[in-house]
Amino acid sequence: MLKDLFIGLSQNQFLNSAAKKYGLKLGAQSVVAGTNIEEVMKSIKELNAYGISCTVDNLGEFVYKKEEATEAKENILNVIEAIHNNQVDAHISLKPTQLGLDIEYDFCLNNLKEIVDKASRYGIFVNFDMEDHGHLDPSFKILDELSVEYDNVGTVIQAYFHRAEEDIQKYQNYRLRIVKGAYKEPAELAYQEKKAIDENFIRLIEWHLLNGKFTSIATHDHHIINKVKEFVKVNNIPNDKYEFQMLYGFRRELQLQLASEGYNFCTYVPFGKDWYGYFMRRLAERPQNLNLVAKQVFNKKTNTVIGVAAGAFLLGRLTKKKRK
pLDDT of residue 182: 79
Alpha-carbon distance 182 to 172, whole Å?
22
* pLDDT value of residue 164: 98
Per-residue model confidence (pLDDT) at position 26: 53
pLDDT on residue 318? 43
Q: Are 90 and 55 in contact (CB under 8 A)?
A: yes
Nearest to 288 by CA among 31, 59, 19: 31
So what's the pLDDT on residue 9?
A: 56
> What pLDDT does residue 278 have?
74
| Feature table: binding site for FAD | 130, 158, 180-182, 194, 219-220
Quick one: three-class SS letters along 213-260? CEEEEECCCHHHHHHHHHHHHHCCCCHHHEEEEEECCCCHHHHHHHHH
Q: Count CB-CB contacts under 10 A for residue 281.
A: 20
Residue 303 phi, psi dihedral angles, 5° rounding = 60, 25
Catalytic residue among 57, 167, 177, 198: 177
Helix (H, G, I), strand (E, B) or coil at 126: strand
Binding residues: 95, 130, 158, 180-182, 194, 219-220, 281-282
The radius of gyration of the chain's CA atoms, rounded to the nearest angstrom, is: 19
Task: Specify the pLDDT at position 60.
Answer: 83
The structural domains of the chain, ordered by start, are 1-25+284-324 (no CATH), 33-274 (3.20.20.220)
> Quick one: pLDDT at residue 263?
97
So what's the pLDDT on residue 309? 46
Asked if 121 is an active-site residue, the reply is no
Please report the pLDDT score of residue 288 as a whole number. Answer: 58
Query: What pLDDT does residue 201 have?
Result: 98
How confident is the model at residue 35, as a pLDDT?
A: 85
Query: Which residue ranges of the chain lie beneath pLDDT 50?
Result: 296-324
User: What pLDDT does 273 receive?
Assistant: 80
129 tagged catalytic = yes
Binding residues for substrate: 95, 281-282
Which listed residue (57, 129, 198, 274) is catalytic? 129
Predicted model pTM: 0.82
Dump the DSSP string for 271-318: ESS--HHHHHHHHHH-HHHHHHHHHHHTSSSTTHHHHHHHHHHHHHHH
Residue 81 confidence (pLDDT): 98
